[in-house]
Chains A and B, each alone.
Chain A
Amino acid sequence: MSELPPYGLVILIAWGTLTALDLVSVPQGLLSRPLVAGSVAGWLAGDLEAGIRVGVLFECFALDVLPIGAVRYPDYGPATVVATALAAGAPWEFGLGPSVALGLVLAILGGWSLQYVRRWNARAIQQRAAALAAGEGSAIRLLQYGGLVRDGVRGAALTSVGLAVAAMIALHVPLDRRTAVGLSLIAIGGAISAAVSGALRSAGQGARLRWLIGGVGVGLLVAILA
């Protein structure tokens, strides 16, 4: 983990908060996608290569998620930011595994925290039910801004706690070379499995499956030739 000045940490927390807000609340402009979250976090942490590697890997995990209806899913934005901060400064073959392990745990915690915010929103609405039934615009605005603030606090807390844990891991959990490489290989294998599972589920049995297979063929060819 690269050493960051205090303002660097604040900027990383701000970026993690923004990615958390982007997932559901505002603006849903793909800032929370791991590829984006990781690359920007890598740039902020001074190691763009680590950010892109971590971002691409978490993006594979995120391809297994369909945010449809009221489905529950991990929050990969702040998780990718924290994982990138942990991976920064180390050769990616060694840094990838431990950072992905921490990031995946954070992503699960992020998903749970999202459920908590949703229940909190419901309680706030119940408390202002009379004002809503009277059609008070100020009550609607208060609820809306309150929801955004709750989600922002969730994102900031998740990123801050994650960065604190990352710093502790970097200081107190030494890993030998073989273990670090083993964790990285498992992270890559798990990410491939997630991407394939998500792609197969979305493809179903029809024409999309044929296009998926065609894409795999072209991708293999490009990967071999590149």
Chain B
Amino acid sequence: MTGGWRALLRLYAVQGTWNYERMLGVGMGYAAEPLLEDLKTVDPVRHSEAVVRSTEFFNCNPNLAGLALGATARAEYEAVPGAQIARLRTALCSPLGALGDELFWTGAVPALIGLALAAVVLGAGWWAIGGLLVIYNLFRLGTGIWALRTGYDAGMKVGSAIAASWVPRAVGRIGLVAGFTIGLAIPMVAVWFLRGFGWAGGLGAAALGAVGVAVTRWFGPWLTSVRFTLIAMLLLLVFRWMGL
């Protein structure tokens, strides 16, 4: 695979031109450039068509975009009909979005954040923050390399390659770990903050938290936790201004 490392590096900026029309489209085209370079000398017309296809609408989790990128680049070299490649891109959007979101946004990220929060509360400081960054970025780099290679090796059969891979199994497990670590962190963080305010302050903040959970459920999505907090702060300032 020529240009693999450059493509991998460019995938880190795949959302650089994110917009509501093509979403990741242009970013995918940017990342595809090094992979398609050899096609320019072999078949310049095909190369032009491939570049155009690579910038069309595409959306998925950015961390698994390498699977689609590798698969479509391989298909271009194998002279698969353009319409078939476009269909493959469209078909990959939803599964790569769902798997990637579950693996990263609701899995690895909250799992590691929960652990880091708990460690910071216990006094780990920079070790917790450094560990969070190193572990996450190594996981992400490894996944990125795997995704690009697997996509390129599988070509049009990338769907089967994903189904047989470690990703679907990992998604099921990492979500449970994330649930546990976030659950672990919340009471630790709450006690860490409220210890300094005594019983009355602690109970007041905890009660406010409980009210916040309830009202943001009832009045969501308009009343988010951020808006709830800002409204409560504004009310306090008004009451204090009134001398209460």
Interface, chain A (partner B; CB < 8 A)? 24-31, 33, 35-36, 39, 48, 52-53, 56-57, 59-61, 63-64, 66-70, 74, 92-93, 97, 100-101, 104-105, 107-108, 118-119, 121-122, 124-126, 132-137, 140-141, 143-148, 151, 176, 178-179, 181-200, 202-203, 207-220, 222-224, 226
Query: Secondary structure of the A side of the interface?
Result: helix
Given A118-B20, A197-B212, A190:B228 Cβ within 8 A? yes
**B51 and A137 contacting across the interface, CB-CB below 8 Å:** yes
Q: How far is the CA of A146 from the CA of B26 in the complex (A)?
A: 12
B interface, size bucket: 35 or more
**B19 and A118 contacting across the interface, CB-CB below 8 Å:** yes
What mask results when residues 91 to 115 of chain B are scored 1 for a CB within 8 Å of chain A, else 0?
Answer: 0000001000100011001100110
- Cβ 8 A contact of A214, one of B113, B137, B183: B183
Q: How far is the CA of A185 from the CA of B213 in the complex (A)?
A: 16
Residues in chain A near residue B30, CB distance under 8 A: 140-141, 143-144
Residues in chain B near residue A67, CB distance under 8 A: 105
- Asked if B168 is an interface residue, CB under 8 A from chain A, the answer is no
Given A105-B230, A122-B21, A140-B29, A68:B105 Cβ within 8 A? yes
Counting from the closest, the 9 A-B pairs by CB-CB distance are A215-B183, A193-B212, A190-B229, A189-B208, A194-B225, A192-B209, A147-B17, A135-B51, A223-B191
Q: How far is the CA of A149 from the CA of B97 in the complex (A)?
A: 26
- Asked if B146 is an interface residue, CB under 8 A from chain A, the answer is no
CB<8 Å pairs between A and B, sample of 13: A24-B15, A25-B16, A26-B16, A28-B62, A30-B132, A39-B129, A122-B20, A140-B26, A189-B229, A195-B182, A197-B225, A207-B176, A222-B122
